[in-house]
């Protein structure tokens, strides 16, 4: 039996084991996806475990997506650009890091028939998720990206990183007036995530354009306060489930070499979230 591990802390509430195990079963693979509760101190030890024979891969989640990079034998250009790894594939005892969050995000937009080309995009947040989304949108041809974040220096850091790679892209920081006429508005902060489901990353009086697409990367709950407010304002809303499934599908393909059964993964994730 082959094993895939999820390294993070905490990982007990993760939906990924149910989602990937359902996919392995659907394809008749004798594989098992297991959460591996890993503290910062135990990260190196966990990496040793990934080099063993029956380990076919791993996911990395909060808070290790950045710290893991220096423990790997190589990282993809995408992961290096984003500055975070969420997927590991072992090859001949060596570990390679990839980031499938950006690909997952773009696939989720596409599934909703949203094309970010020439769009004015406002991203709330400047952490790991925001980074993946910012680079995905820059690569997809967004016209302008405005980063709004509690800690301004984190937003500046991310803007500098994106600018270095996409010098022609218009970037701004903490420009709240841009929200009212954004084409796409994205919550990439953790505000509103279970159990703090009454919190929202924007005050309720914030004007959101009824013509905008509003995305929350949070999938637990599926309907965040932020999405409720946006929906009430008349915007088209998208929750984080699509990105979760599509980043998982991209990782699944890296480990198994096979196309992931998207619908099976979506159903399993939904079922797990409803528990
Ligand atoms: P992830 O990998 O999920 O992106 P992260 O890297 O810890 O997690 O980033 C979390 C993001 O949510 C950050 O942008 C953080 O803002 P700071 O840069 O100021 O820390 C934002 N965030 C978290 N809690 C928040 C809160 N209570 N209010 C506003 N922003 C918050």
Number of CB atoms found within 10 A of residue 183's CB? 18
Average pLDDT, the chain: 97
The yes-or-no verdict on residue 43 having pLDDT over 90 is yes
E strands, the chain, are 2-8, 31-37, 55-60, 74-75, 87-91, 94-98, 120-124, 144-148, 170-173, 184-187, 213-216, 236-238
Give me ligand 1 centre to Cα 240, in Å: 16
- Which residue's CA is the closest to the ligand 1 atom numbered 3? 129
The yes-or-no verdict on residue 274 having pLDDT over 90 is yes
pLDDT tens per residue, range 75-129: 999 999 999 999 999 998 899 999 999 999 999 999 999 999 999 999 999 999 9
pLDDT band at 157 (very low <50, low <70, confident <90, very high): very high
Strand-pair category, 87-91 with 55-60:
antiparallel
Task: Check if the beta carbon of residue 36 is closer than 8 Å to that of residue 11.
Answer: yes
CA distance 106 to 251: 15
Please give the average per-residue pLDDT across 48-76, as a whole number: 95
The CA-CA-CA angle for residues 135, 137, 141, to 5°, reads 115
pLDDT band at 53 (very low <50, low <70, confident <90, very high): confident
The enclosing H or E element of 104 equals: helix 101-111
Around ligand 1, the residues with Cβ closer than 6 Å are 62, 125-130, 149-151, 154, 189-191
- 172: nearest Cα among 148, 142, 137: 148
2 is catalytic: no
pLDDT band at 229 (very low <50, low <70, confident <90, very high): very high
pLDDT band at 245 (very low <50, low <70, confident <90, very high): very high
pLDDT band at 69 (very low <50, low <70, confident <90, very high): very high
pLDDT tens per residue, range 204-226: 889 999 999 999 999 999 999 99
pLDDT tens per residue, range 163-204: 999 999 999 999 999 999 999 999 999 999 999 999 999 998
Instruction: Check residue 5 and give its pLDDT.
Output: 98
Q: Which residue has the tokens 């949108």?
A: 137
Looking from the CA of residue 130, the nearest atom of ligand 1 is 4
Please give the average per-residue pLDDT across 9-20, as a whole number: 96
Integer CA distances (angstroms), 269 to 89, 163, 181, in order? 23, 36, 33
Please give the average per-residue pLDDT across 120-139, as a whole number: 96
Please give the average per-residue pLDDT across 2-30, as a whole number: 97
Point out the catalytic residue in the list 2, 65, 231, 253.
Answer: 65
Instruction: Check residue 204 and give its pLDDT.
Output: 86
């Amino acid at each position: 039996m082959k094993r895939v591990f999820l390294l993070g802390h905490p990982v007990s509430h993760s939906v990924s084991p149910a989602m990937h195990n359902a996919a392995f079963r659907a394809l008749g693979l004798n594989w098992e996806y297991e959460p591996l509760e890993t503290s910062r101190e135990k990260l190196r030890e966990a990496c040793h475990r990934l080099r063993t024979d029956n380990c076919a891969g791993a996911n990395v989640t909060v808070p290790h997506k950045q710290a893991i990079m220096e423990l790997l034998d190589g990282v993809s250009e995408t992961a290096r650009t984003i500055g975070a790894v969420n997927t590991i594939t072992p090859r001949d005892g060596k570990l390679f890091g990839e980031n499938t969050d950006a690909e997952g995000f773009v696939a989720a937009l596409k599934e909703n028939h949203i094309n970010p080309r020439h769009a004015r995009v406002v991203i709330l947040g400047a952490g790991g998720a925001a980074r993946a989304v910012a680079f995905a949108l820059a690569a997809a041809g967004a016209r302008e990206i405005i980063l709004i974040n509690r800690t301004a220096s984190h937003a500046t850091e991310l803007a500098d990183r994106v600018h270095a790679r996409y010098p022609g892209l218009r970037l701004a920081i903490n420009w709240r007036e841009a929200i009212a006429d954004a084409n796409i508005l994205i919550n990439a902060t953790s505000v509103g995530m279970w159990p703090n489901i009454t919190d929202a990353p924007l005050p309720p009086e914030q004007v959101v354009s009824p013509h905008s697409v509003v995305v929350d990367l949070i999938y637990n709950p599926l309907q965040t306060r932020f999405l409720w407010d946006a929906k009430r304002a008349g915007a088209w809303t998208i929750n984080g489930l699509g990105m979760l499934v599509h980043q998982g599908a991209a990782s699944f393909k890296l480990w198994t070499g096979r196309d992931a059964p998207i619908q099976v993964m979506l159903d399993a994730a939904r079922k797990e979230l409803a528990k």
